[in-house]
């Protein structure tokens, strides 16, 4: 599918959004990046539906503590903030170890955390793990988190009926339509290519690339779960969502905002912008095991042409293989 910036994008931003509240009693929710923005608003809205527990996985524990109190004010007492920095493999591994050993179930994993540095850079910024910051935070960290939480997801699936199947919701973006994904033209491990200066253009292009990686990873994760010899894997739902252009109400109304006036007119505030997050996380019609659907405006749509056909299949498999290689894991580690 093609998605034109001048025609399709403005039209998409004007589509009315609707999601019905569900009864989340008995469910445990994990929201990454739940301390601010669309992640926090998603948590607030989900809290009103009566889940047993919400865990916010956050890098900034000071704002996370404030978010916990704000969510508790919306009607749920059992809310916790756990530290998670997706730009650090050690942090992600510590988090998944803690969760798996906690004995908690995991009914909804809303993988919302991401980063878009606003400062221009002529060269890629590398993490302590040696990977480009945007790719590690948005893609590698998300991949390591979801793979690391498989033991808990499987345990949850083993106890679930058809209305309680665990859901993994990966947040991408419509900007994935607008990347040419030039690093894929180079040979070698794709992630390592993206760590090098030879593939670097700027932070915006790399952000677009990272959101395409989210699509490829989510699609292949769903495929691998269905091919697994472990029956519980076949009961885990994987979906991918695009929230569109979302900003705070204050920024939308601020004439001095860095966001151009035309974009401010199109932007949704967090209350509206979180609805596709919610739809994929809770709606009974959203997501079935084996069907990795990309949702925009609370409805399934086709992702970018680069993800389709034989070329899309080959690129998706390359992303998966190269991602696992840099993460230092194998399919055998997950008994697939």
Catalytic residue selected from 42, 91, 173, 199: 173
Query: What is residue 75's predicted lDDT score, i.e. its pLDDT?
Result: 73
Q: What are the start-end ranges of the H helices in 197-308?
A: 203-227, 249-253, 261-266, 270-273, 275-282
Q: Where are the domains of the chain?
A: 8-327
pLDDT one-digit tens code per residue, 267-290: 999 999 999 999 999 999 998 888
| Segment 154-178 mean pLDDT | 94
Q: Average pLDDT for residues 279-306, to the nearest whole number?
A: 95
Order of strands, sheet of 167-171, starting from the edge strand that comes earlier in the sequence: 79-83, 53-58, 28-32, 108-111, 167-171, 237-242, 293-296, 299-301
SS3 content of the chain, % helix, strand, coil (to 5): 50, 15, 40
The answer, yes or no, to whether residue 179 has pLDDT greater than 70, is: yes
Distance of CA 106 to the CA centre of its chain: 16
Give residue 10's Cα distance to chain centre: 23
DSSP 30-73: EEETTTSHHHHHHHHHHHTT--SEEEEEES-HHHHHHHHHHHHT
Share of the chain above pLDDT 90, in %: 90
Q: Is 91 assigned a catalytic role?
A: no
User: Average pLDDT of the chain?
Assistant: 95
- Give the separation between CA 48 and CA 46, rounded to whole angstroms: 5
Which of these is catalytic: 177, 207, 208, 295? 207
Annotated catalytic, 177?
A: no
Span 29-71, pLDDT tens digits: 999 999 999 999 999 999 999 999 999 999 999 999 999 999 9
**pTM for this one?**
0.97
Tens digit of each residue's pLDDT (9 = 90 or more) over 69-107: 999 987 788 999 999 999 999 999 999 999 999 999 999
The CATH fold assigned to 8-327 is Rossmann fold (3.40.50)
H or E element, residue 139: none
> Could you say which of 44, 53, 211, 275 is catalytic?
211
Segment 157-168 mean pLDDT: 91
To the query of whether residue 93 is one of the catalytic residues in this protein, the response is: no
- Measured distance CA(136)–CA(138) in Å, rounded: 6
The confidence band for 336, taking pLDDT boundaries of 50, 70 and 90, is: low
Question: Dihedrals φ, ψ of 217, to 5°?
Answer: -65, -45
The greatest distance separating any two alpha carbons of the chain, rounded to the nearest whole angstrom, comes to: 56
């Amino acid at each position: 599918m093609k998605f034109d910036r001048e025609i399709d994008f403005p039209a998409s931003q004007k589509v009315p959004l609707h999601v019905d509240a569900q009864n989340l009693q008995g469910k445990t929710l994990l929201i990454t990046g739940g301390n601010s923005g669309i992640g926090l608003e998603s948590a607030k809205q989900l809290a009103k539906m009566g889940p047993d527990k919400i865990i916010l996985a956050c890098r900034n524990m000071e704002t996370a503590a404030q978010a916990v109190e704000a969510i508790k004010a919306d009607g749920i007492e059992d809310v916790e903030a756990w530290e998670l920095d997706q730009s650090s493999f050690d942090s992600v591994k510590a988090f998944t170890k803690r969760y798996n050993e906690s004995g908690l179930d995991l009914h909804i994993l809303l993988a919302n955390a991401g980063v878009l540095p606003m400062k221009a850079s002529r060269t890629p910024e590398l993490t302590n793990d040696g990977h480009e910051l945007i790719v590690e935070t948005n893609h590698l960290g998300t991949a390591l988190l979801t793979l690391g939480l498989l033991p808990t997801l499987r345990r949850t699936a083993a106890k679930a009926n058809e209305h309680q199947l665990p859901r993994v919701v990966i947040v991408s973006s419509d900007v994935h339509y607008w990347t040419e994904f030039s690093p894929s033209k180079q040979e070698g491990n794709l992630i390592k290519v993206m760590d090098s200066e030879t593939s670097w253009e700027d932070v915006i292009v790399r952000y677009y690339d990272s959101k395409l990686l989210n699509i490829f990873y989510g699609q292949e994760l769903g495929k691998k779960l269905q091919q697994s010899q472990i029956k519980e894997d076949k009961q885990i739902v994987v979906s991918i969502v695009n929230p569109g252009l979302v900003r705070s109400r204050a920024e939308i109304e601020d004439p001095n905002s860095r966001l151009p006036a035309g974009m401010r007119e199109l932007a949704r505030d967090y209350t509206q912008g979180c609805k596709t997050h919610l739809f994929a996380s809770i709606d009974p019609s959203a997501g079935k095991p084996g069907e990795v659907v990309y949702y925009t405006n609370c409805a399934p749509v086709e992702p970018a042409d680069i993800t389709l056909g034989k070329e899309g299949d080959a690129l998706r498999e390359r992303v998966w293989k190269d991602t696992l290689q840099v993460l230092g894991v194998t399919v055998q580690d997950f008994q697939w």
